[in-house]
Structures are given as C-alpha cells and as structure tokens.
Structure 1
Amino acid sequence: MTKKLQLAEEERTQHDQLREEWITGLSHDLKTPLSSMYGYAVMLNSDYHWSEEEVRQFAETIEKKASYMNALLDDLNYTYALQHRQVTLEERPVQLLQYVKDYSEKHIQASRLSVQGEEASVLLDAIAFERVLDNVVSNGLKYSEGIVRIRVERRNDEAILSIWNEAEPLPEQLLQQMFERYYRGTNTSETIEGTGLGLAIAKQIVHQQHGTIVARNASGGIEIVITLPMDQ
C-alpha cells in the first residue's frame, strides 16, 4: 500500500509539472505572435500614411501569425484529446508497404522519397496514421536537403517502419526529446513552419495503436523507427 501511494504521488507530481510546462509553453507561443500582430496593428493605426504595398505586407504578416496561433490551438486540443483517450481510433487491416507508397505518391515529390521493403499487414486507423506520416516524413524533409528513405520490414510478429534522412548526429538526450512538444523551438519567425507539436502527436497516435516510436543516429543521418504489431 505504501509503495502504491508513493507511485501515485510521483505520478501526480509528474502530471502537475507537465501541466505547468504546457501552460508556460502555451503562454510563450501565443505571446510571440500576439506581440507581432499588436505591433503591426499599432503601426497601421498611426497617422503615418503607409503605401499600399506596406499595408499588404503588414496584413500578410498578421494573417500568418493568426494562422500559426490557430494551428497551435488545434494541435494542443488534439494532443489533449489523445492523451485523455477522447479520440477513437478505428483500426482495420492495412498493407503497410502499399499504404506508405500510396501516401508518398499523393503527398511527396517522388525525387525526395525512396520507399522499399516487404509487405506487412497491420491494424491501423488509416486516417490517423496518415497524420503520423505527415509529421514524421515532413520533419525529415524539412531538416534534410537529400532523399528521405522509408523501409518496411517484418520481424517476428511486428512490422518495422523506418524513416531515415541525412542529418548531423544528435546527442542521446536530444533524440529522446524529439518526441516532446517544441523540440524544434518556438520561434515563429523561423523559416521552418509548424507548431512544434508534430512529433509529439505522432508518438501519441502510434502508442494508441499499440506501437512504439524511437529516434536514433544511423548511417550519417537520423532514423525514426516505428514498430507496430502485425495483424494476426
């Protein structure tokens, strides 16, 4: 009983810390674009006569910041729903290699992607898992100028989906943090788009489908490995 109470207290403390980190992160993420929007609004409301081109540029910046904030709130709501099991995933048999090929033909330039391997049947929510690929594959494309290589293999009763992109090796701690929110940072002025929640969402979806996802240094790049149970 004492051990159970201790574990419950540790879990509560961890949840409290996580909630505080989320509130702090959200405050920072919303404050940055809001400050930018406020600044442009003040400029537009001044007595200075801005040119039509300047007004258009201000409006585009405000629209971009507002779009980022909307995407951030959508992703936060989705991660919360996933964490509290409020998203129902409908798992059906999927041929994983063909699924990835179909996805790549639909969404990715053929010259940027290589898909190989062997067929493996898994139980997936095809729509939700597409979001996993959106986040993981697009992350590889963003951080690499070369080809992203995807491979599907069968190992015992598991299907292994690996996504590799050329990159500098990372310390082990950063590889672990890759699936935490805001791994890439929260500066919305960066040229790399996104809310910083993509890989965290991917991890939650994979875990809900009874799989695992890890990142590692491999062959001159970063490899993300997703393991899924085979459809028996």
Structure 2
Amino acid sequence: MSQVSLRKLRPTGLRGRLVITFTVVAVMASVLVASIAYQLVRQELLRRTEHAEVTGVRTVLERITLPIGTTDLLWPSGASVTEADLNAIVESLAAPDRQVVVRYGTKERATRDSTFRVSQIPLDLRRQAVTRLVHQRQIIDGVPYLVIGTQVQRETRGREHPTDIAVFVFVSLLDEERTLANLRTALLQAGSITLAIAAGVALLSARSVLLPVRRLGAAARDLGAGKLDTRLPVHGSDELAGLTATFNETAAALEQTVSELRTLESMSRRFVADVSHELRTPLTAMTAVTDMLSEEAERLPQDTGQAVRLVVQEIDRLRVLVEHLIETSRLDSGTAVLSTDAVDVGDALAECLRARGWSDQVKLNVPFGLAFSLDPRRFDVIMANLVGNALRHGAPPVIINARQRSDGLEVTVRDHGDGIPAEALPHVFDRFYKAEAGRSRSEGSGLGLAIAKANAELHHGTLTVRNANPGARFTLWIPWP
C-alpha cells in the first residue's frame, strides 16, 4: 500500500484520534493483563500436574517389592529379573492417561496399545534418568506429554542400589491443554467485551471532550463572519472552561477594537468626502482661470509662461485627484449604483480613446457588433484607467482585445514594456500604491486602478493582472446579467 493510501486511512479528526488512542490503550492493557494471567495459570496448572505425576510415579516405585536384581547382583535365592517382573512394574505404573515403557537390557515392556519406545526419548533425558528421577514436557506426534524417567532402585542392607531397569512414563497433557484452550477462549471473549466497552467509553469521552471544542469552533466561525457579539457560557473550572473564558475575553476585545476602527474609518471617509466636495468649488474657479491663462501663456515671457503651464498642470492633477477621491468615497459609502444599458463595446472603447486623444496610440481589436449590458460611464472609467496606466508606465504598442465568452464579456489591455515587478503584483490594485517609489508626482493619483477594480466588482466581475513577457496584461471580466 502506498504512502498516499496510508495517509488517507489515517484519522484526521480529533474525535477519531481520541477514540483510536483510547481503544488501543485499552486493548494493549487487556492483552497485557490476559497474557500475564494466562502465563501464570498455565505455569501453575502444569506445575501441579508435574508435581502430582512425579510424586505418583515415585510412590509407586518405592512400593515395588518384587525380587528384582541383576545378573551380577542377585537376591540370595539367586533370582533374576523376569518378564513377569517387568510386566508387574508396567501394571503398577499404568493409568488411563499414562503409558509406561520399561527397559531391562534388550527387553522392553510397555502398556497395552502403547506406541512409545525408549528410542523416542531424547538422549539427554535417558542419560539423566540413570542417576535420578527426571521429567520433561515433550510434543510427540503433535500431542503434549510429560515424560518421566528414572532407574529402579532396590534396597540392600539399608542402602539403595541402582538396577539396570529403566522406567519411562508418558503422561498425556491433553486435559490440561483443553483447560488452557478454554481459558484462552474465555480471555478472548473477555477481551472482546472489554474492547466494546472501551470503544463505547471512548466515544462518550470524546463526545464530552469535543463538545466544547465544537462550540468554540462554531463560535470562532461566527466571529469570523462578523458576529462580534458571539459569547459562550463557561461551565466548570477545567482547561476547556479556561479556554472558553479566554475566547470570550478575546471576542470582547476584538469587538471593541473593530468598533473603534469602524468609527475611525467612518470618520476618515467622511473627512475625505467633505474635503473633496469642499475642494471642488474652488477648483472649478481655478480651472476656469487657468484655462484663460493657458491661452495667454504663449504670449507671456518665457519664465512666466513656464510658471503658468506648471500651475495649469498641477491644477489639472489636483482636479483628477479630487474626482478620484469623490468616486472612492461613493464606492466606500455604498451609494454607487449601476445604470446598465445595452452598449456596443467597440463604440464605447473607441469613444473612450477619442475623448482622451489616445486613438493613435492604442490598437483596438473588437468584433463588429459586439454588444453587452453594462454601465457605460463606469465601463469608461475602468478602461480609461487601464489604458492610461499602460501608456504612462508601459511601452507601445498598447493593444485592447475584447471578446464574448460563454460566461460573459472579456476585455484585455496589454502593453509591451518591462512589466510589473513580481513583488508589486499583489499590490497593484491597492490605493495609493506605486510600484516605483521614485515615480514623479504627476504620474497619477495612485487611485485609478483601485477605482477600476471597484467598478468591475460593482458589475459583479473581476479585474486581474499578470505579466505577459513583455509587458503587463490587465483582464476585465463581466458576467452576463
């Protein structure tokens, strides 16, 4: 499975992580406890079985009173070990879950239906059985057995002497294995129940923990949506209650700060609007006077004429700035409205260029008869600002392309200059922003592109810019009404 697939399988929510963590801890604890309990029970059960069987074998061997001897150490009667003696030992040690193999020299005797032979017994166990009673658990043909081995001892004159009779007892451990299997099943069932309980407790705990978090998330979204009066009730005194109280304090401080900023912004807009309107009246009179002066500038002395032309230029720039400020205040106050009409886009663009004397500087590519519903005055403002910006800061040729798309009208303005610096692109439509700090004061008010973008958005459209290499391309898109 790929790393992408593994990442998709990983829980991303806090609820899922809490439930999984809680469940994993519970399962690990259950497995650990069950393993320890199983091992303790298993060891104790096998220890008791081994102790009981070894004790039983030892007791039986100690009670054997047959005249058992060897050829080199006979009883006073001269008797030696017979097959009857071996059979007697086998019968004495035999039991339902016990099989016995007795070996004397080359003779071997075993319980009925026994398939065991001494050769099946590990060599090290046979060697140890020569000197003492030993036992070991073995898996024979897939069945667990306890193998007990020893050499029969006989007592002569108060002392025990080993004989050549080797006794090996095979005790089946199937009953113990069944008991352990039942124990494993019981532990598995208990573990399943524990897992279900742990999952339920984890879900309840996650719900109780995440409920305040979800409330905080919803409140934060409301706060981001502008509902600054959003507050949450504080319950308890834990960390989540402290977080909720902190959220309420932050929301209150944010509401106060935003209220103050809105008040200052309103005052600032009102001030700009008032000043702009107050400046319009003297500017009208000054413009009328400068029109007269500009006509006489050529007949005035050179220095006086130059001064007159400078005054006319600055008054014209001030007039444009005031008009832009007034337009901006209307857009900010929400009083700007659209007055749409069916407009021939080619004619509107040609008139915009002709009115400003740009017809010979701009190449216009518009399909014949392209008509669209828009506000002609605001469309003129948008295009005048875009073309004026291209002529001032770009390089010829400046090209306007207009076309009708399936989703609306698209108009692009492109120049072939050096383009806009990459760091300035995000700020092109900011108010009073100029990409070059050293640009002269007469090169625009710094509001033209911001006004153009606001008028585009008033049409529910967009105005974007990107470098076209060479030059920059501004794209206006207005959707169908």
Contact 1:158-1:228 within 8 A present in 2 as well: yes
> Who is 1:115 aligned against?
364
How high is the TM-score relative to the length of structure 2?
A: 0.37
> Who is 2:224 aligned against?
6
- Shift of residue 58, structure 1, vs aligned partner: 5.8
CA distance in 2, matches of 1:205, 1:62: 31
Paired residue type of 2:325: L
> Who is 1:213 aligned against?
463
Change (3 A) 1:174 1:203: same
> Who is 1:85 aligned against?
334
CA distance in 1, matches of 2:382, 2:361: 18
> Who is 2:378 aligned against?
128
RMSD after superposition: 3.6
CA distance in 2, matches of 1:4, 1:166: 47
- Shift of residue 4, structure 1, vs aligned partner: 1.5
Contact 2:365-2:401 within 8 A present in 1 as well: yes
> Who is 1:147 aligned against?
397
Alignment pair present for 1:159 and 2:377:
no
Change (3 A) 1:70 1:99: closer
> Which digits, 9 at most, give the CA deviation of each residue in 1:184-228, with x for residues without a partner?
279898164321111111111111011110011114110000001
Report the secondary structure of 2:476's partner residue. Answer: strand
Report the secondary structure of 2:224's partner residue. Answer: helix
Contact 2:396-2:417 within 8 A present in 1 as well: no
Q: Larger C-alpha radius of gyration, 1 or 2?
A: 2
CA distance in 2, matches of 1:187, 1:59: 28
Change (3 A) 1:170 1:195: closer
Report the secondary structure of 1:166's partner residue. Answer: coil
CA distance in 1, matches of 2:359, 2:322: 32
Paired residue type of 1:73: V
- Shift of residue 172, structure 1, vs aligned partner: 4.1
Change (3 A) 1:218 1:185: closer
Give 5+ residue unaligned stretches, structure 1: 27-51
Identity over aligned pairs, percent: 22
Equivalent residues in 2 for 1:145-224 (5 A)? 145-184=395-434, 190=440, 192-224=442-474
CA distance in 2, matches of 1:151, 1:92: 21
1:73 to 322, 327, 351: 322
Contact 1:181-1:197 within 8 A present in 2 as well: yes
Greater shift, 146-155 or 70-79, is seen at: 70-79
CA distance in 1, matches of 2:345, 2:305: 46
Give 5+ residue unaligned stretches, structure 2: 1-217, 229-253, 273-300
CA distance in 2, matches of 1:144, 1:161: 18
CA distance in 2, matches of 1:55, 1:97: 44
- Report which structure shows greater RCO (CA 8 Å, sep ≥6): 1
> Who is 1:229 aligned against?
479
Change (3 A) 1:146 1:56: closer
Greater shift, 203-212 or 113-122, is seen at: 113-122
Greater shift, 188-197 or 114-123, is seen at: 188-197
- Shift of residue 167, structure 1, vs aligned partner: 1.9
How high is the TM-score relative to the length of structure 1?
A: 0.71
> Which digits, 9 at most, give the CA deviation of each residue in 1:62-88, with x for residues without a partner?
665555445433322211211222122
CA distance in 2, matches of 1:16, 1:91: 35
CA distance in 1, matches of 2:318, 2:261: 25
> Which digits, 9 at most, give the CA deviation of each residue in 1:64-117, with x for residues without a partner?
555544543332221121122212220111122332133334434433111113
Change (3 A) 1:107 1:59: closer
> Who is 2:15 aligned against?
none
Change (3 A) 1:148 1:184: same
Change (3 A) 1:131 1:177: same
Greater shift, 127-136 or 98-107, is seen at: 98-107
Report the secondary structure of 1:134's partner residue. Answer: helix
Contact 1:83-1:204 within 8 A present in 2 as well: no
Aligned length: 203
